[in-house]
């Protein structure tokens, strides 16, 4: 569905054959978040209470209701944290409704937030710790071919590259992301276009609205191909493989004379992959595609069948 191939030949799968992994799945505690609360990066647990009355316009010392046990309390983030993370002897009742799974998620959130606060500024190879070094407007105005502006442009180029490199190293991104055409075009577009006060998509936007938007976009693009299935018929192609995280994946493609479409990949972790399991998967895919359209099912002769 996307145009690039995984260039290292393995299955890191930005293209069609990836499955949901934990980073895109919904957190268990999601249903307890307030949505509109005064959520901030440093005090993430505010999201799990409903602020009823905040003093002097801030949530600093507020009246709040726990979204888990629905009880009302008052006080600062220190008390919110003690209540939700079930920290005893902090002068507040610990929450009776926060189970150990919820506790793990919320502790992680809190820990990451604390780490963020403590993180130190590591200087870039370009000699600055500043993420946005001040731009010398005078240098910039002297046209594009003066020696000063050339020097400035090289400096900015260098700094941008150093920041991108830092992104890769700090997030552990695979180096072949550098070959991803969308990665390249994102930065060239950003460098060539002056969008004032632009902020890149947030963690939440990426995993919710933008993901949905891209999915429906792709679905819309695939629809003309699906429309031909009724007339020309479609073959289901399925194969099992193991991805880099050693998950047993079973993928399904629908192929017709107008082209192949990736349908889905099932993570078979923890399943007993016998013929009944496989047969049921194939049956459900046939149902999704429309039984009247399916001409044949193609698979390898895995020992399981």
Which residues are CB-neighbours of 3 under 8 A, at least 6 positions away? 181
CA–CA separation, 266 and 283 (whole Å): 14
What tokens were used for 7? Answer: 């260039």
Cβ nearer to Zn ion, comparing 65 with 247:
65
* Stretch of 91-99, 100-108, 140-148, 295-303 lying at the interface with Zn ion (CB under 5 A): 91-99
Cβ nearer to Zn ion, comparing 51 with 69:
69
Cα Rg of the chain (Å, integer) = 26
Considering only residues 68 to 87 of the shown chain, the ones binding Zn ion according to CB under 5 A are 68-69
* Stretch of 3-11, 94-102, 161-169, 198-206 lying at the interface with Zn ion (CB under 5 A): 94-102
Cβ nearer to Zn ion, comparing 68 with 252:
68
Q: How far is the CB of 40 from Zn ion (least distance, A)?
A: 20
Spell 55-75 as b/e; 16+ CB within 10 A means b.
eeeebeebbbebbbbeeebeb
Which residue from 45, 59, 62, 66 is in contact with Zn ion, where contact means CB under 5 A? 66
Q: Is residue 92 close enough to count as binding Zn ion by CB under 5 A?
A: no
* Secondary-structure breakdown of the chain: helix, strand, coil percentages, each rounded to the nearest 5: 45, 15, 40
Q: How far is the CB of 91 from Zn ion (least distance, A)?
A: 15
Is 117 strand, coil or helix? helix
Q: Is residue 94 close enough to count as binding Zn ion by CB under 5 A?
A: no
Which residue from 95, 106, 234, 249 is in contact with Zn ion, where contact means CB under 5 A? 95
Q: Is residue 64 close enough to count as binding Zn ion by CB under 5 A?
A: no
* Stretch of 67-75, 162-170, 231-239, 274-282 lying at the interface with Zn ion (CB under 5 A): 67-75
Closest CA to 48 of 28, 62, 68: 68
Place of tokens 């629905």: 70
Cβ nearer to Zn ion, comparing 95 with 261:
95
CB atoms within 10 A of CB 212: 10
CA–CA separation, 30 and 97 (whole Å): 15
* Stretch of 61-69, 163-171, 242-250, 272-280 lying at the interface with Zn ion (CB under 5 A): 61-69
User: Which residues form the interface with Zn ion (CB under 5 A)?
Assistant: 66, 68-69, 95
């Amino acid at each position: 569905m996307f145009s690039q191939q995984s260039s290292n030949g393995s299955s890191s799968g930005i293209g069609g054959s990836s499955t949901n992994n934990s980073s895109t799945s919904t957190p268990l505690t999601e249903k307890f978040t307030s949505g509109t609360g005064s959520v901030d990066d440093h005090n993430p647990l505010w999201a799990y209470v409903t602020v009823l009355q905040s003093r002097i316009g801030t949530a600093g010392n507020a009246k709040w209701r726990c979204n888990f046990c629905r009880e009302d309390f008052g006080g600062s983030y220190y008390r919110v944290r003690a209540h939700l993370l079930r920290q005893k002897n902090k002068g507040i009742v610990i929450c009776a409704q926060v189970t150990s799974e919820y506790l793990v998620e919320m502790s992680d959130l809190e820990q990451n937030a604390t780490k963020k606060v403590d993180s130190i500024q590591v200087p870039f190879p370009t000699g600055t710790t500043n993420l946005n070094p001040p731009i010398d407007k005078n240098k910039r105005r002297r046209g594009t071919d003066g020696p000063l502006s050339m020097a400035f442009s090289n400096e900015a180029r260098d700094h941008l590259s150093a920041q991108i490199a830092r992104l890769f190293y700090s997030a552990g991104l695979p180096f072949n992301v550098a070959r991803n055409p969308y990665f390249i075009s994102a930065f060239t577009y950003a460098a060539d276009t002056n969008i004032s006060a632009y902020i890149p998509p947030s963690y939440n936007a990426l995993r919710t609205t933008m993901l949905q938007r891209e999915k429906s976009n792709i679905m819309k693009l695939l629809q003309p191909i699906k429309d031909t299935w009724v007339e020309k018929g479609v073959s289901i192609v399925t194969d099992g493989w193991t991805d880099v995280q050693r998950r047993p994946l079973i993928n399904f493609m629908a192929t017709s004379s107008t082209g192949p479409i990736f349908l889905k990949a099932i993570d078979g972790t923890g399943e007993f992959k016998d013929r009944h399991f496989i047969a049921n998967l194939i049956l459900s895919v046939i149902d999704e595609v429309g039984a009247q359209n399916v001409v044949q099912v193609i698979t390898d002769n895995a020992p399981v069948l």
